[in-house]
Structure 1
Amino acid sequence: MSSHTHDMQACIAACLDCYQTCLSTALHHCLEAGGRHTEPDHMRLMMACAEMCRASAHIMLTGSSVHRQSCGACAEICSACADDCERVGDMDACVAACRACAETCRAMAA
């Protein structure tokens, strides 16, 4: 397996992990915690992040060369989501998943 294929598989895994983590955290932890966790902009960003991660994984799985663009956008959204989850607090798993995904996506977009 080439390094590029291995890197892409790692990025797909990071995207799917972030998708699952953001979606699950938003719909369970955030909704149950309330307060800052349910601010409209925070919830929208988490949903956008989850969907962008899912879409990026999908595009990489198709083998299309446009994955560079989707991964670039995904890295930006994941970084923004990580920062916002850090601001809200008590969301360490989400912050970690977003940062890991942003890092692998940034590398795939390069």
Structure 2
Amino acid sequence: MNHLSNEMQACIDECLACYRTCLSMAMNHCLEAGGPHVEKAHFTLMAECAEICRTSAHFMLIGGAHHKRTCAVCAEICDACAADCERVGDMQDCVEACRRCAESCHRMAA
């Protein structure tokens, strides 16, 4: 993987960590907690966040020209997911993973 810059490799790592955290928290923590954790808007946003993180990592690994666009969308969705997870509460792991990923993706999209 020497063809990837350190910054891009770091962003891939943040995207995959966020994908793992969002999906795991949605499927385990949120389903078990119920209530606001499983409201459609929140649960859908978590699924969207996990998927765009996975997709952004995939685009960067491919090394094509379009990763800046997927990273821009990823940053936007991660920001929204972090805010919503903070609103719902008891989801600090997700909030932090989303914030780290958003920050890294904002840099890659620039």
CA RMSD of aligned residues (A): 1.2
What is the deviation of 1:12? Answer: 0.0
Could you say which residue in structure 1 is the equivalent of 2:48? 48
SS of residue paired to 2:68: helix
What is the deviation of 1:32? Answer: 0.1
What is the deviation of 1:65? Answer: 1.4
SS of residue paired to 1:90: coil
- Consecutive unaligned residues in structure 1, runs of 5 or more: none
Amino acid in structure 2 at the alignment position of 1:65: A
- What's the TM-score once normalised by structure 2's chain length? 0.97
CA distance in 2, matches of 1:81, 1:8: 22
Match runs of 1:13-92 below 5 Å: 13-92=13-92
CA distance in 2, matches of 1:12, 1:56: 8
CA distance in 1, matches of 2:61, 2:12: 8
Amino acid in structure 1 at the alignment position of 2:105: C
SS of residue paired to 1:64: coil
| Percent of matched pairs sharing the same residue | 61
SS of residue paired to 1:65: coil
What is the deviation of 1:96? Answer: 0.1
Amino acid in structure 1 at the alignment position of 2:52: M
How many pairs were matched up? 109
CA distance in 1, matches of 2:90, 2:104: 24
CA distance in 1, matches of 2:43, 2:36: 10
